[in-house]
């Protein structure tokens, strides 16, 4: 840890201890979303929670905001356990969550109104916040008259006006286009650096690695299924940070390495183990075959020639971590590539795929799909065995539900349908919700 | 348009009356005077009311219209209060939800005559006074307005985006503030649309709610409905014409002074600009916005709402022990057991009550009547679809035509079937037609328009790109209908058809028995059975008829319309 950070000397603003969160599945089993999460937030720091979608980081943010209760463990704010929405903790939302029927001013005033602040004081503070965040002149506009960036500014003003100690940000820039997001981030960091913001600390949830390195003093890496903090990276660069700075790039590389690392506790014995488990209970993240093919082709082509740095690929292909990681993992599962240490390397089969024509590609993909993805093999086997060569979706859905939550099962089936269709190993009629071996040709 | 909303208006200004104020003033006071006059009748005695018969003099219609309009407004207020409480309870409490939602489903299917018997109760409430009868009339109008409004509100509450709810909680809005600042505005667009539908429903059944006959009790309250009832009894065609004119004026006033401003302001409540043909403009809304007098009034109202907003504790209250117990599972089980026991008891009680009077053979006959009515509804919906879907698509693709057609259709939806009795009954008697066939169109008279409304909306929502692509590929004629137009409007059509079907069942009580003077024609069906049993004051048969009708409607919804709707949603909507 950075010993020079003044934060160390102060009592923690927020202390999360051993927090677990699980939801009850329809069949009565527990689905664990967060497992034994610990974190501390001290005054004066911006901390980033970095992980893929579905890693439970947004759930953690809601627990901290008091919008939900942990199954076990304690969220402590200023030494007291949080057990409901607390004043002093304000939130900025991904979708802005502005009230469309209120003007900018009315939206900003909302929190103060709820606190029963006197009319004059309320107006004064709101206009100040609007001023600060650069919304001058838009007081009487309705949210729908504003662009996305301006809407999120309202979101910030609304959170800042209540003078919270802790500002929670749930992917606040991810619904904005790249340029707008950058401007807004820059403006925020300026105000923060100048000490103009009436807040003590910020907790930022994001899946954008560059954004995290740009903004945060500390990054906590989240793993998926269940969500846990698996790593911590201190960013000891001074603001404003330059994305071209080699040290900045090095940090981004480090984050990629951490995020592609296997979760601790998993023993590795041989090269075979490098591939994630592929029993039929494996949750498959939906990646379109288009993206998979695109990724193989990119990595196979010059200048990469079969081996590439993930951060470089992400930047070149304008892929978010949320798209890149699942795609890389799918290729790994299909034995078309290996992913480790922030790198992706095509296997021989992957290279062969890249060289082939459409028909051969499909055959190769089909072979790998049936061999390495247990669910695909299972579906195919069931269809082969049945006299009708068809089976309802529910048959597989019920089976999957023994292993995973409903949504995950839904997504896994969607993925297998999409891959199966590309490989032409089976067909699916969404209208009748039936898998079959028929080809509509 | 929004000069008054620029930052300067943010500062407090002194109250200076403007041009719009004069108009607003005049309208507000005319309204108050009207209310006072109409309310005057409330305190009178029932004997005097019955001694002064309804007059068919066209001039009397002015007063009658005011009374009718006032009743409608009061019923609408009652419906809103019901909506806000009932639907909120259903949406907030999982336990309440399990019983309140099916109950609402059932209430919605009960025709207005099912509630006629309540007049005996209301009359006893204020013996010898008109007030009881007025309350009964208002209650009956309420029963034709409230249910769909409550449903719409409930659905809206359930579909508020999560992040908005979380924002409201994060900023610690009190439940009262959350209700007025988040939930009501969010539900507004859908609620207004349903209020308009409800108003039409109120008009359609107006004759039943003002001229009430239950057994030996007959009350005719001064109003347009009673006027129509008398005109039919006396075969006075001119009076019918006047009644139509008066209705037209009142509906127009409601539209201009209430619904248009509401609709125009609801546009501000929408999350996104939706594709539709209503870019609402309203002079009345402009007046309300520009008039400082009315703004002062609304600010007073807003201040009143703010009274309930109290600051909350800093760390959020820890859940108390009682709350923990309340959330326990066994409370759930106890509650469901209680509901089941009460349900069984109620069924037992009803069965005994009905069987006391009605032989089992008759129950079979009533079921058969239900099938007759079902057949009628099915054929009529099919016919109406054949006619209105093509027309709706044609209109929907032409926004200018749509803006003309919509208000006309809205007026026609409010048109009580009774007004067509002269035409239909005369035709049937003169041409010796079969009532079983020729009375049927009356059922769909008011409800077919919902098919048209929805298809127009669906057609106007077809993405331009889709139409261009069709043109570009040279898709024309029947292929164009089959591949583009019909699939695009299908989900909307289903929504309209569900409304139309439900409404037609309700309308059957108004359509299977028709009278013109002494001439009465009657079709075989459940509606006629219910209408007759009400007129005869036969409570048992009334309950039986309504139960069968509700049961049929609810079953039809569950096994036919809902799956169809789900399918339409899944198949024809992208993403």
Distance from CA of A140 to the nearest CA of B (A): 6
* CATH number for the domain formed by residue range(s) B338-575: 1.10.3720.10
Give the burial class of A407: count Cβ atoms within 10 A of its Cβ; 0-12 exposed, 13-18 middle, 19 or more buried.
exposed
Cβ-nearest to A99 among B182, B306, B311: B182
B372-417: pLDDT as tens digits: 999 999 999 999 999 999 999 998 888 788 878 877 877 777 777 7
Query: Does B227 have pLDDT greater than 60?
Result: yes
B-chain CB neighbours of A142 within 8 Å are 268
Which residues in chain A have their CB less than 8 angstroms from residue B164's CB? 97, 99
Tell me how far the alpha carbon of residue A389 is from its chain's centroid.
Answer: 39
Q: Which two tokens stand for residue A183?
A: 């401007």
Supply A45's token pair.
């720091």
> What are the structure tokens assigned to B17, written together?
């009356």
Say if residue A265's pLDDT is above 70.
no
Does residue A90 sit in helix, strand or coil?
strand
How far is residue B9's CA from residue B294's CA, in Å, rounded to a whole number?
15
The pair of structure tokens assigned to B283 is: 């002079």
Smallest Cβ–Cβ distance between B316 and the set A84, A91, A101 belongs to: A84
Read off the pLDDT band of B282 (50, 70, 90).
low
Given a contact cutoff of 8 angstroms between Cβ atoms, the answer to whether B439 and B514 are in contact is yes
For an interface test with A, give the residue of B170, B315, B574 to mutate (most A CBs within 10 A): B170
Query: Could you give the CA distance from residue B31 to residue B37 in angstroms, rounded to a whole number?
Result: 10
pLDDT of B285? 65
Q: How many angstroms separate the CA of residue B173 from the nearest CA in chain A? A: 5
> What percentage of residues in chain B have a pLDDT greater than 90?
8
Surface-to-core class of residue B207, CB atoms within 10 Å of its CB (0-12 exposed, 13-18 middle, 19+ buried) = buried
Residues of B with a Cβ under 8 Å from any A Cβ are 2, 5-7, 9-10, 161, 163-164, 166-167, 169-174, 177, 181-182, 185-186, 188, 268-273, 306, 309-312, 314-319, 571
Cβ contact, residue pair B167, A97, below 8 Å: yes
Q: Who's near B225: CB < 8 A, 6+ residues apart?
A: B68, B206, B207, B208, B209, B210, B211, B416
- Mark yes or no for CB contact A88/B314 under 8 Å: yes
- The answer to whether the CB atoms of A116 and B181 lie below 8 A apart is no
Q: Could A87 and B2 be called an inter-chain contact, meaning their C-beta atoms sit closer than 8 Å?
A: no
| pLDDT higher than 90, residue A23 | no
Contact present, B88 and B176 (Cβ < 8 Å)? no
Q: How confident is the model at residue B323 (pLDDT cuts 50, 70, 90)?
A: low
What tokens appear for B164 in the block? 């908005």
pLDDT confidence of residue B307: 58
Q: What is the pLDDT, as a whole number, of residue A269? A: 36
Mean pLDDT of chain B: 79
Interface contact flag, A113 B311, Cβ < 8 Å: no
Residues 6+ apart with CB under 8 A from B134: B41, B42, B71, B221
Rounded to 5 degrees, φ, ψ at A335 are: 60, 30
> Quick check: A212 and A46 in contact, CB under 8 A?
no
Tokens at B226, concatenated: 């009673």
Cβ contact A114–B311 (<8 Å): yes
Q: Output DSSP code: residue B45.
A: B
* Intrachain domains B45-280 and B338-575 with the same fold: yes
Task: Report chain B residues whose CB lies below 8 A from the CB of A102.
Answer: 181
Instruction: Report the candidate in A18, A159, A23, A22 with the shortest Cα–Cα distance to residue A75.
Output: A18
Enumerate the domain spans of chain B: 45-280, 338-575
Residue of A nearest to B176 (CA): A114
**What DSSP string describes A268-302?**
--SGGGGSPP-STTPPPPP--HHHHHHHHHHHHST
The alpha carbon of residue A340 is apart from the nearest alpha carbon of chain B, in Å, by 35
pLDDT at A202: 94
pLDDT above 50: residue A363: yes
Interface test with chain B among A70, A97, A205, by most B beta carbons within 10 Å: A97
Statement: residue B310 has pLDDT above 90? no
Whether B10 and A123 lie within 8 Å, measured CB to CB:
yes
CB contact under 8 A, A97 and B163: yes
As a CATH number, domain B45-280 is 1.10.3720.10
pLDDT band at residue A272 under the 50/70/90 scheme = very low
pLDDT at B75: 92
Cα nearest neighbour of B163 on chain A: A97
Contacts of A2 (CB under 8 A, 6+ apart): A217, A234, A236
Separation CA A362–CA A425 (nearest Å) = 9
Across the interface, which of B169, B185, B272 has its CB nearest the CB of A101?
B185
Please tell me which of the candidates B169, B273, B309 has its beta carbon nearest to residue A85.
B169
CA distance B188 to chain A (A): 10
Ranges A20-34, B17-31, B381-395, B517-531: which has the least confidence: B17-31
Which neighbouring-strand residues pair with B217? B214
Name, in order, each residue with C-beta under 8 angstroms of A260's C-beta and a sequence gap of 6 or more: A310, A325, A328, A339, A340, A341, A342
Nearest residue to B6 via CA among A150, A108, A136, A129? A136
* Residue in chain A lying closest to B161 (CA): A97
What are the chain B neighbours of A118 within 8 Å (beta carbons)?
A: none
Can you read off the two tokens belonging to residue B296?
A: 């002062």
β-bridge partners, A229:
A222
State whether A139 and B311 contact (CB < 8 Å).
Answer: no
| pLDDT for B440 beyond 50 | yes
pLDDT of residue B316: 45
pLDDT at A278: 52
- pLDDT at residue number B127: 76
pLDDT (tens digit per residue) in B144-193: 888 888 988 998 888 888 889 999 988 888 888 889 888 988 888 888 87
Whether pLDDT at A341 is above 80: no
Torsion of CA A164, A170, A171, A176, to 10 degrees: -70
Confidence band of B268 (pLDDT split at 50, 70, 90): low
Cis-peptide into A240, omega within 30 deg: yes
Q: Name the interface residues of A facing B (CB cutoff 8 Å).
A: 62, 65-67, 77, 80-91, 93-95, 97, 99-103, 105, 110-111, 113-116, 123, 137, 139-140, 142, 144, 158, 162, 431
Which is nearest to B203 in space by CA: B72, B381, B43, B11? B72
Q: Give the mean pLDDT of chain A.
A: 83
Answer yes or no: do A100 and B311 touch at CB < 8 A.
no
Could you tell me how far CA B466 lies from the centroid of its own chain?
Answer: 34
Report the pLDDT value the prediction gives residue B379, as an integer from 0 to 100.
Answer: 93
Q: Chain A to chain B, count of Cβ pairs less than 8 Å apart?
A: 109
Among chain B residues, CA nearest to A62: B166
- Helices B283-290 and B19-40: angle between axes, nearest 10 degrees: 110
Give the DSSP letter string of B320-349.
PHHHHHHTSHHHHHHHHHHHHHHHHHHHHH
Residue B2 binned pLDDT confidence (cut-offs 50, 70, 90): very low
Per-residue pLDDT tens over the stretch B72-113: 999 999 999 999 999 999 888 888 888 888 888 888 888 877
Asked if A101 and B268 come within 8 Å (Cβ–Cβ), the reply is: yes
> What is the side-by-side strand order in the sheet with A307-309?
A307-309, A343-346, A337-340
Instruction: Give per-residue pLDDT as tens, A239-251.
Output: 888 888 888 888 8
DSSP collapsed to 3 states, B126-141: CCCEHHHHHHHHHHHH
The tens digit of pLDDT for each residue in B443-456 reads 888 788 888 888 88
Task: Report the residue of B177, B273, B315 to disrupt the A interface, i.e. the one with the largest count of A CBs within 10 Å.
Answer: B315
Nearest to B547 by CA among B341, B350, B359, B344: B350
The predicted-structure confidence for A382-428, as pLDDT tens digits, reads as follows 888 888 888 888 888 888 887 777 777 888 889 999 998 898 888 88
pLDDT of residue B290: 62
Write out the H or E segment, with its range, that includes residue B512. Answer: none
DSSP string, B200-215: HHHHHTHHHHHEEEET
The answer to whether A68 and A62 have CB atoms below 8 angstroms apart is yes
> How long a stretch of residues is chain B?
575
Q: What is the mean pLDDT of residues B351-361?
A: 82
Q: Considering only alpha carbons, which residue of chain B is nearest residue A167?
A: B170
Look at residue B343 and tell me whether its pLDDT is greater than 60. Answer: yes
Q: How far apart are CA B200 and CA A310, in angstroms?
A: 63
**Residue B285: exposure state from Cβ atoms within 10 A (0-12, 13-18, ≥19):** middle
Q: Report whether the peptide linkage leading into residue A186 is cis, meaning its omega lies within 30 degrees of zero.
A: no
Residue B279 CA to residue B460 CA, distance in Å, equals 13
Predicted local confidence at residue B281, as pLDDT: 59
What's the first-to-final CA gap in chain B, in angstroms? 36
Instruction: Tell me the percentage of chain A whose pLDDT exceeds 70.
Output: 91
**Whole-angstrom Cα distance, residue B505 to residue B511?**
10
C-alpha distance from residue B72 to each of B104, B204, B250 (Å)? 21, 12, 11
Which residue from A minimizes the CA distance to B183?
Answer: A99
pLDDT digit string, tens, across residues B4-54: 222 333 333 444 556 666 676 677 667 777 666 666 666 667 777 777 777
């Amino acid at each position: 840890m950075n010993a020079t950070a003044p934060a160390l000397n102060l009592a923690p603003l927020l202390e999360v201890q051993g927090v677990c969160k699980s939801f009850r599945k329809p069949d009565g089993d527990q689905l664990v979303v967060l497992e034994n999460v610990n974190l501390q937030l001290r005054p004066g720091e911006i901390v980033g929670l970095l992980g893929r979608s579905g890693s439970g980081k947004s759930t953690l943010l809601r627990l901290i905001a008091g919008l939900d209760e942990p199954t076990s463990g304690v969220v402590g704010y200023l030494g007291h356990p949080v057990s409901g929405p607390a004043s002093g903790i304000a939130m900025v939302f991904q979708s802005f969550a502005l009230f469309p029927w209120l003007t900018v001013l009315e939206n900003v005033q909302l929190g103060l109104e709820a606190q029963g602040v006197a009319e004059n004081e309320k107006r004064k503070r709101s206009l100040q916040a609007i001023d600060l965040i650069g919304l001058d002149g838009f007081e009487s506009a309705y949210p729908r008259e504003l662009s996305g960036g301006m809407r999120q500014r309202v979101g910030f003003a609304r959170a800042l006006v209540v003078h919270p100690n802790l500002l929670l940000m749930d992917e606040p820039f991810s619904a904005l286009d790249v340029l707008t997001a950058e401007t807004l981030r820059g403006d925020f960091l300026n105000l923060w650096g100048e000490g103009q913001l009436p807040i003590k600390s910020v907790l930022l949830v994001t899946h954008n690695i560059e954004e995290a390195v740009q903004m945060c003093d500390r990054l906590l890496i989240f793993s998926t299924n269940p969500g846990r903090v698996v790593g911590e990276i201190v960013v000891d660069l001074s603001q404003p940070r330059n994305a071209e700075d080699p040290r900045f790039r090095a940090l981004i590389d480090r984050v990629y390495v951490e995020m592609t690392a296997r979760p601790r506790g998993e023993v590795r014995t041989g090269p075979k183990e490098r591939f994630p488990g592929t029993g039929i209970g494996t949750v498959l993240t939906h990646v379109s075959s288009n993206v998979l093919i695109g990724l193989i082709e990119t990595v196979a082509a010059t200048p990469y020639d079969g081996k590439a740095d993930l951060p470089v690929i992400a930047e070149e292909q304008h892929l978010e971590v949320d798209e890149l990681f699942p795609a890389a993992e799918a290729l790994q599962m299909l034995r078309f590539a290996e992913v480790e240490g922030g790198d992706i390397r095509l296997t021989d089969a992957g290279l062969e795929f890249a060289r082939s024509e459409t028909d051969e590609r499909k055959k190769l993909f089909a072979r790998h799909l049936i061999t390495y993805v247990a669910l695909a093999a299972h579906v195919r086997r069931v269809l082969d065995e049945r006299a009708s060569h068809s089976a309802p979706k529910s048959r597989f859905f019920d089976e999957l539900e023994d292993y995973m939550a409903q949504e995950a099962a839904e997504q896994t089936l969607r993925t297998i349908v999409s891959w199966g269709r590309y490989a032409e190993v089976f067909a699916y009629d969404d209208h009748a919700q039936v898998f079959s071996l028929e080809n509509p040709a | 348009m929004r000069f008054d909303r620029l930052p300067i208006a943010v500062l407090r200004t002194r109250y200076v009356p403007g041009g719009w104020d004069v108009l607003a003033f005049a309208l507000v006071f005319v309204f108050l005077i009207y209310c006072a006059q109409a309310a005057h009748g409330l305190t009178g005695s029932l004997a005097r009311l019955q001694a002064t018969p309804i007059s068919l003099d066209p001039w009397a219609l002015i007063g009658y219209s005011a009374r009718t309009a006032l009743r409608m407004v009061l019923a609408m207020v009652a419906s809103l209060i019901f909506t806000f409480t009932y639907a909120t309870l259903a949406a907030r409490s999982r336990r309440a939800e399990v019983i309140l939602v099916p109950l609402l489903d059932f209430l919605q299917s009960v025709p207005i005559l099912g509630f006629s018997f309540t007049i005996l109760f209301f009359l006893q409430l204020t013996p010898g006074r008109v007030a009881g009868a007025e309350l009964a009339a208002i209650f009956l109008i309420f029963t034709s307005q409230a249910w769909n409004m409550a449903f719409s509100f409930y659905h809206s509450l359930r579909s508020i985006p999560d992040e908005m709810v979380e924002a409201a909680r994060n900023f610690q809005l009190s439940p009262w503030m959350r209700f007025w600042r988040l939930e009501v505005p969010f539900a507004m667009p859908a609620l207004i649309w349903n209020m308009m539908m409800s108003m039409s429903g109120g008009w359609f059944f107006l004759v039943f709610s003002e001229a009430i006959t239950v057994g030996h009790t007959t009350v005719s309250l001064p109003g347009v409905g009673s006027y129509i009832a008398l005109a039919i009894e006396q075969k006075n065609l001119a009076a019918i014409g006047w009644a139509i004119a008066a209705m037209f004026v009142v509906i127009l006033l409601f539209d201009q002074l209430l619904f248009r401003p509401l609709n125009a302001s609801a546009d501000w409540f929408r999350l996104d600009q939706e594709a539709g043909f209503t870019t609402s403009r309203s002079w009345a809304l402009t007046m309300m916005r520009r008039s400082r007098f009315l703004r002062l009034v609304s600010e007073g109202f807003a201040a009143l709402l703010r009274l309930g907003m109290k600051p909350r504790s800093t760390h959020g209250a820890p859940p108390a022990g009682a709350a923990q117990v309340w959330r326990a599972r066994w409370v759930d089980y106890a509650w469901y057991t209680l509901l089941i026991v009460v349900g069984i008891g109620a069924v037992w009680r009803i069965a005994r009550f009905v069987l006391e009077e009605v032989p089992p053979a008759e129950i079979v006959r009533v079921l058969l009547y239900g099938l007759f009515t079902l057949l009628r509804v099915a054929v009529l919906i099919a016919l109406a679809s054949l006619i209105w879907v093509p027309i709706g698509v044609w209109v929907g693709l032409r926004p200018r035509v749509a803006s003309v057609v919509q208000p006309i259709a809205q007026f026609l939806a409010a048109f009580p079937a009774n007004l067509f009795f002269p035409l239909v009954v005369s035709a049937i008697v003169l041409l010796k037609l079969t009532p079983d066939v020729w009375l049927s169109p009356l059922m769909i008279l008011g409800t077919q328009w919902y098919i048209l409304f929805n298809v127009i909306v669906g057609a106007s929502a077809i993405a331009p790109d889709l139409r261009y692509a069709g043109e570009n590929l040279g898709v024309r004629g029947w292929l164009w209908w089959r591949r583009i137009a019909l699939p695009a409007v299908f989900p909307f059509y289903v929504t309209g058809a569900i409304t139309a079907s439900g409404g037609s069942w309700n309308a059957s009580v108004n359509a299977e028995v028709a009278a013109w003077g002494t001439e009465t024609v009657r079709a075989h069906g459940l509606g006629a059975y219910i209408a007759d049993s009400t007129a005869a004051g036969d409570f048992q048969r009334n309950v039986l008829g309504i139960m069968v009708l509700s049961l049929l409607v609810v079953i039809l919804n569950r096994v036919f319309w809902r799956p169809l709707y789900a399918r339409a949603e899944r198949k024809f909507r992208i993403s």
